[in-house]
Structures are given as structure tokens and as C-alpha cells.
Amino acid sequence: MSRRYYITTPIYYVNSVPHIGTALTTVAADVNARYQRMRGREVFFLTGTDENATKVAEAAEAAGKTPKEFVDEISEEFKRIWAGLNIRYDDFIRTTEERHIKVVEEVWRRLLEAGHIYPGEYKGWYDVTTETLYSESELVDGKSPDGNPVREVSEPGYYFRLSAFAEPLLEHIEKNPRFIIPETRKNEVVSFIKQGLRDVYITRENKGWGIPVPGDESRVIYVWFDALINYISAVGWPDGDWESYWPAAAQWMGKDILVRFHATIWPAMLMGLGLPLPETLIGHGWVLMGDKKISKSLGNVVRPLELAEELDRSAGCGPELAVDAVRWHMVRTMPFENDTAFSMEEFQGRYNSELVNILSNGVHRVVSMTHNFCSGTVPDGALDEAALSQVRDALARYHAEMEAFRFDRAMDAAVEVGRILNGYIDEKKPWDLRKQDDSRLSDVMRTMVWMVRAVEAVLRPVTPTVADRLAALLNLEPLAEFSVLDGDAGVTPGLKLAQPQPLYVRLSAQKKEEGKEVREQPTQSQSSPADDTITIEDFLKVKLRIARVLDAAPVEGADKLMRLELIVGDERRQVLAGIRPQYSPEDLIGRQVVLVANLAPRKMRGYESQGMILAADGPNGEAILLQPDKEAPDGTSVH
Ligand code: ME8
């Protein structure tokens, strides 16, 4: 069996459901997994839930449920939320599962036998919020160093001989520069170990919840000791083909659980078992709300799916694209070394400036122009190598940052690909080439479509639905591996593109005002109402419908007229409109307009105009097209 690229997230406590902070780690791991799959690696991505904690039992009691009922429900809720966020894990482990418990017991037996676990008395303080033990001297004003309440513990139990592993751990960290990232956190780990590692107390009194100590039913195994083992129990250690998974390539977590747990106890346990250590532990920073960590115990949570719903409501992009926008924001603003504060303004701002202006619009321009200038078909042109090499430079930066787990910076390179595309369009001006019947149009058009394929590729790990929509617009299979961009990536002459469909539309300042009532300004009537008023019946005689522009072309010999082909529900209409000075075909193709659908047809310049589209008169008499506030189904009636 070939070596897998094994990725893990922490397994989350099931005392509450995920928020944007918890989701960040899982989204980052998912991006890591999707990216590596596209590098052609066989990936195994694990997440799960940590169910044996004292605080889980306490949360269950508070909810009036048995711990079992409670953990079953919440772990399902985690799965539901991960599915909603399009997280594609390969396995979900729960620490109450038999497959996990039997491995924990085996680890215990081996470490006990090797003398790394020994019995002893414990006296100290326990922070239930973080499930951490502290000695008297570590307390600050009678609380844990994080400010959580602590309770006194004095009991017999078992210790793990962590102190014996300080030297080998320091040596391993020294020799493996990629073992702990980012660098600042590695330094924290090193100074923590150098301060001296004490043996860890790894049992609790058995109160009916947790994994009992093999051979001593009066104790249960400390939840952290049990939880860390999930990373090997999920791959079936010590049986089967666990060696094709372990050691993990990337173990993701927040900085809060790196130093004391994943970078000390965990590798020491592995050394005690004679197992190799993970290749990289990534301890990212926190998502803050104001200046505080978003956390379930502080109650200042932002839930990722609610954020997506809100965006869908205001931008009308549909739930799946809204989820992609949330994923985009999380990765783009990902705290790596430092913490980052979540801000709604920034979320909406990036949505408009990156997803709409650069990426969506660039793609939309290309697809529209392909329809407008080349009947929707990729022409028989040559790919412009100079332009491709610009994109390939950005791709090289993208890959370097992705491999270094700096997904936030990799997305700079992704945006750069969008910028290159837009810059290319502006520079080459395909509309002029077409006007001049310039044969270079074919090269430019094919190159632009190739660039859309490159945009699809770089976005795919972070915004998989957007990427699927782009592939569908190109009428190609979703791009499975980056290596296809070494060639034409399927953008061959004759490829017929789908009809243009904008992905994301701009959030206007008004739409950004969440829930704020928009009151109509009283209109100043120009003339006496009595002369002009019509009854509602009169008004309803006018059939107004939402239509989409399928094609647009200037009418020969008429400076102002544009001929539009519209789709109105199931019907196609041809309409002539005097909007040519203000709108070019590529501004129009794909957009929605309001059509007067029951106007008698009229011949103009040899064409029949089958209706009229609505526009406001600008201050200088120019046409300003009306457009629905958000996408409405084509053909919808307007009142
Ligand atoms: O610690 N910003 O589970 P947990 C960024 N069960 N990341 C955050 C965050 C924030 N504001 N809040 C939470 C546990 N996280 C243990 C793990 S693993 C063997 C056992 C993320 O439910 C971050 O990854 O408290 C953090 O490490 C994790 O959620 C803690 O999840």
C-alpha cells in the first residue's frame, strides 16, 4: 500500500457545536486535503469528536440527558455542520467508539509495561474548562493561568513519565525544522520544555464516564491522554496497514493545545511506544471577536453556517456559493502566527473586492465574450505563451505557499491569477480585435479561457462549489490535478462553453446594512396627480418579466441600437434597445433585465423588436438599465 498523506484536526469536545474558530481548523485541514489530492497524493483526512471529558458529562447533565444521548446528538450536529461547510473528511472518529477504546487500552498496557506509566498520589488543581491540571504554584489568584475556575484534587492514580522525554524531544525539534510551525510557536515549545517537564497525572476518579484504566476500574484515563490516541486508533494501530498512514503529514490545531499537549505529551507517548513522530504540527492563531478569542465559554460565537445564510439573504448567491464565500474569508484571513479579529465589514468587503470584482467578473467577461464573439466556442487559436508564463509564475508562488501551509498567502496568488486575467482582457481588448477582424482574436480568446481554467484550479481547494461552477461553464470535467495546467487543461479549439451565468453579484451598500429597514424617500410629484393616475388594473395590463441577456450585438448602421437576445422563462425574445453608447455587449451578456413582455412587436432597422427593456434616464439622457436587486428566476413576473 502506498504512503498516504495523513491530515488530522483536533477532535472537538462535544459540549457545544462548532463556531467560526473551531471551523477554521477544520476548513484549513480540508483545504490542505483538497490541495494535496490535486497534487495527486493519496490523502487520508481525519476529524472527530472528543467525548470522554468530564465537561461533556457535565454539559449532558445540564441538558437533562444521559452522556451517551448527549454525545450522540452533538457528534451528529458536528457532522451536519461539517457537511454544510463542504468538509470532505475520510473518517470521523468518536472516542466512545469501541475501535478507539481498545487501542487506548493497548497503549496503556504497553506504556505501563515499559515503565512509562507508574502509580502515584495526585494533589493539585483541575481546570474543567480546558481539562487541564495545575499545581498550586501555577495558579494565578486562585484561578488557572487562563482565568478559569479550578477545583482541588487529591487522590491516588497513575502518572506518565513525561520528564524522561525532555531531551529526546528537544533533539527531535532541533533536527526537524518542519516539526512545529509557525516558528514563534516552536520557540514557545522549546522554552516550555527547557523550563523542565514534570510527569503528568493521567487518571481521574471513575464517576461513570470515560475509559476505565485496564485492571483498575476505580480510575478512568485522563481525557487528553485518551484523546490524543485517536490519531493512531483511527488508522487501526497496531494492526492492519497503519504504517501506510502513520506518521501523519500534517496535524492541525489552534495554538491553545499545541505546547502542553500536541508538542510535548503526544510525541512523548509516541516515543514511549516506539512510534515515529508526525511530520508537522501546525498551531495556528486564534480568531478573535474584538480583542477576545471566539470561544464557546465566552459565548461570543459567530457560527459559520449562519454567516453563510446571512450572505445568501443579502447577495442572493444561493447557499452553496455563500458557504464558499465563508470558506474563502476564513482562509484568506487565517490567523497563522498572529490572531485575527473577525469583522463583518471585512467579510463583505473581501466578498465584493475579491470574489465579485476580480474573480467572478473576470470569468464572466470571458464566458460572455466567447459567446458574443465566437458563438460560445473556443476558437482555433494558439495559447499565448507570454501570458501563460505570467500565470505559471503566480501558480509557482501559490504552490510554494500551499506546501508551507500558508493558505492565506497562497490565496494572494489565487487573486493574482484573477488580476492577470482581467489585465489581459483590458490589454488585448478583444472587442477591438473583433471589430477590426483581427486574426489574433482567436489566440486571445483561447488564452482567456485557459486562464479561467487556471482560476478554477487555484480556487478549487478553498471554494470547491465555485470551482465546479467554473468547470460547468467551461463544459469541462472538474479539474482533478494541477498538472493538467502544464498543458492546455482541456481548453481545446471547438470546446463549446455553457451560457454565461454570473457567480457572485455585488453587495450594495444598502444590502450590506443588515436588517436595516430601507425607507422609501417621498417622491416629488412633477405634475398634479389627478391627470396622471391610473388604476391598478391599468398598471397590471403591462406584463413585466425578468429576462436574461443571452447575446448582444450592435445593430449595423445605428449608433444607439443594440440587438439583444433574451431568455424569458422558456421563451426567447429579440429586443432592440437604445443603450449602445452606455453598454458594450460584454457588459450585457449574462445580466438580468426587466422586460415589458406584452408590447406589440415593432420592426426597427430590419429587425423585429419583441418587447422593451426598462432603463432609467440618466442626468444627460443616458440609459441606466434596471436590474433586479438579486438574481431572480428567468421569466419571473414583476409587479
Ligand atoms: O481542545 N480561533 O477541543 P475543543 C481559532 N478536545 N481556533 C479555535 C478557536 C478560535 N477562536 N476556538 C477553537 C479540544 N478553536 C480537545 C482537542 S485533540 C486530541 C483534543 C479550534 O473543542 C482550535 O483548533 O476545545 C482549538 O485547538 C480547537 O478548536 C479546540 O477545540
pLDDT tens digits, 12-68? 999 878 889 899 999 999 999 999 999 999 999 999 999 998 888 888 889 999 999
Q: How many angstroms separate the alpha carbon of residue 321 from the centre of ligand 1?
A: 26
**What is the Cα–Cα distance from 497 to 384, expressed in whole angstroms?**
20
Nearby residues of 453 by Cβ (< 8 Å), 6 or more positions away: 470, 474, 476, 479, 485, 489, 490, 491
Q: Are 251 and 11 in contact (CB under 8 A)?
A: no
Indicate whether residue 13 lines ligand 1 (CB < 6 A). Answer: yes
- Give the whole-number percent of the chain exceeding pLDDT 90: 72
Residue 550 host element (H or E): strand 544-554
- Ligand 1 geometric centre to CA of 549 (Å): 48
Ligand 1 contacts CB of residue 479 (under 6 A): no
257 lines ligand 1 (CB under 6 A): yes
132 lines ligand 1 (CB under 6 A): no
- Residue of 235, 211, 214, 205 lying closest to 224 (CA atoms): 211
Of 148 and 301, the one with more pLDDT: 148
Residue among 11, 16, 17, 22 to mutate when testing ligand 1 (max atoms within 8 A of CB): 22
For cell 441600437, name the residue. 561
Distance CA 27, CA 29 (A): 5
- 165 DSSP assignment: G
Q: Distance from the CA of 22 to the center of ligand 1, in angstroms? A: 6
* Ligand 1 atom 15: residue of nearest CA: 22
Using CA atoms, how far apart are residues 438 and 416, in angstroms rounded to an integer?
28
Rg, the chain, Cα only: 30
Tell me which of 12-26, 345-359, 478-492, 563-577 is least confident. 563-577
Q: What is the CATH number of domain 339-486?
A: 1.10.730.10
Residue showing cell 450572505: 311
Report the amino acid identity of residue 634: D
> What number is the average pLDDT over the span 494-498?
97
Q: Region 469-496: what's the mean pLDDT?
A: 97
For range 614-619, the mean pLDDT: 85
Q: Judge if the beta carbon of residue 50 lies within 6 A of ligand 1.
A: yes
Q: Helix axis angle, 361-374 relative to 441-459, nearest 10°?
A: 150
Q: Strands 5-13 and 250-254: what pairing? A: parallel
In this prediction, residues 115-129 reach a mean pLDDT of: 93
- Ligand 1 neighbourhood includes 253 CB (under 6 angstroms): yes
Rounded to whole angstroms, the Cα distance separating 151 from 3 reads: 45
Considering only residues 138 and 281, tell me which one the structure prediction assigns the higher pLDDT.
281
So what's the pLDDT on residue 523?
Answer: 29
Collapsing DSSP states into helix, strand and coil, what is residue 498?
coil
**Domain range summary for the chain, segments of one domain joined by +:** 5-284, 339-486, 508-638
pLDDT at 621 over 90: no
From the CA of 287, give the closest atom in ligand 1: 2
In the chain, DSSP finds a helix count (H) and a strand count (E) of: 22, 26
Contact 67 CB / ligand 1 (< 6 Å): no
Cα(282) to centroid(ligand 1), Å:
13
Dump pLDDT digits (tens) for 207-245: 899 999 999 999 999 999 999 999 999 999 999 999 999
Q: Which residues contact 469 (CB under 8 A, 6 or more apart)?
A: 321, 501, 503
The closest-lying atom of ligand 1 relative to the alpha carbon of residue 25 is: 24
Q: How confident is the model at residue 313 (pLDDT cuts 50, 70, 90)?
A: very high
Question: What does the pLDDT look like over 383-406, one tens digit per residue?
Answer: 999 999 999 999 999 999 999 999
State the distance from the centre of ligand 1 to the C-alpha of 252, rounded, in angstroms. 10
Residue 524, pLDDT score: 31
Q: Are the beta carbons of 162 and 197 closer than 8 angstroms?
A: yes
Joined grid coordinates for residue 533: 393616475
294 lines ligand 1 (CB under 6 A): yes
Q: Measuring CA to CA, which residue among 627, 628, 626, 629 is closest to residue 617?
A: 626
From the CA of 26, how far away is ligand 1's center (Å)? 10
Does the C-beta of 12 come closer than 6 Å to ligand 1? yes
The four Cα atoms 311, 316, 320, 321 give a dihedral, to 10 degrees, of -80
Higher pLDDT, 249 or 146: 249
Measure the CA–CA gap between 515 and 286, rounded to whole angstroms.
29
Q: How many residues does the chain have?
A: 639
Q: Is the pLDDT of residue 154 over 50?
A: yes
Question: What is the rounded average pLDDT of the residues 527-541?
Answer: 67
Q: How far is the CA of 35 from the centre of ligand 1 (A)?
A: 23
Supply 58's cell numbers. Answer: 457535565
> Which pLDDT score, from 0 to 100, does residue 312 have?
94
- Which ligand 1 atom sits nearest the alpha carbon of residue 288? 11
Q: Which of 51-55, 293-297, 374-378 has the lowest mean pLDDT?
A: 293-297
Whole-number Cα distances in Å, 124 to 127, 144, 156, 199: 10, 12, 12, 13
Ligand 1 binding pocket includes 10 (Cβ within 6 Å): yes
Residue 497 above 50 pLDDT? yes
At residue 515, the pLDDT reads 33
Distance 227 CA to ligand 1 centre (A): 13
CA 257 to centroid of ligand 1, rounded, Å:
7
Provide the pLDDT for residue 513: 57
pLDDT of residue 516: 33
Residue-level pLDDT at 1: 56
Per-residue pLDDT at 533 exceeds 90:
no
- Asked if residues 199 and 161 have their Cβ atoms less than 8 Å apart, the reply is yes
Lowest mean pLDDT, pick from 184-188, 350-354, 621-625: 621-625
CB of 22 within 6 A of ligand 1: the answer is yes
Cell of 351: 466578498
Instruction: Give 5 or 631, the one with higher predicted confidence.
Output: 5
- For residue 152, name the pLDDT band (cuts at 50, 70, 90): very high
The CATH code of the domain at 508-638 is: 2.40.50.140
Residue 531: what pLDDT? Answer: 56
Cα 53 to averaged position of ligand 1 atoms, centre (Å): 14
Q: Which helix (H) or strand (E) holds 625?
A: strand 623-625
Residue 255: pLDDT band (50, 70, 90) is very high
518-545 CB burial, b ≥16 within 10 A, e <16: eeeeeeeeeeeeeeeeeeeeeeeeeebb
For residues 572 and 549, give the distance between their C-alpha atoms in angstroms, rounded to a whole number.
10
If you average pLDDT over residues 352-363, what whole number do you get?
Answer: 91
Ligand 1 atom with the shortest distance to the CA of 50: 6
CA angle 364, 368, 374 (to 5 degrees): 140
Q: Whose CA is nearest to atom 16 of ligand 1?
A: 12
Kindly give the distance from the C-alpha atom of residue 170 to the centroid of ligand 1, in angstroms, as a whole number. Answer: 25
pLDDT given for residue 355 in this prediction: 94
- Neighbouring CB atoms inside 10 A of 377's CB total 14
Q: How far apart are CA 10 and CA 201, in angstroms?
A: 21
Q: Is 172 in the pocket of ligand 1 (CB under 6 A)?
A: no
Q: Whole-model pTM?
A: 0.82
Q: Which amino acid is at 273?
A: L
- Compute the distance from residue 498 Cα to the ligand 1 centre, in Å: 43
550 pLDDT higher than 80: no
For a ligand 1 pocket test, name from 257, 258, 284 the mutation site with the most ligand atoms within 8 angstroms of its C-beta: 257
What is the average pLDDT score of the chain? 91
Which one is the CATH code of 5-284: 3.30.565.10, 3.40.190.10, 3.40.50.620, 3.40.50.261?
A: 3.40.50.620
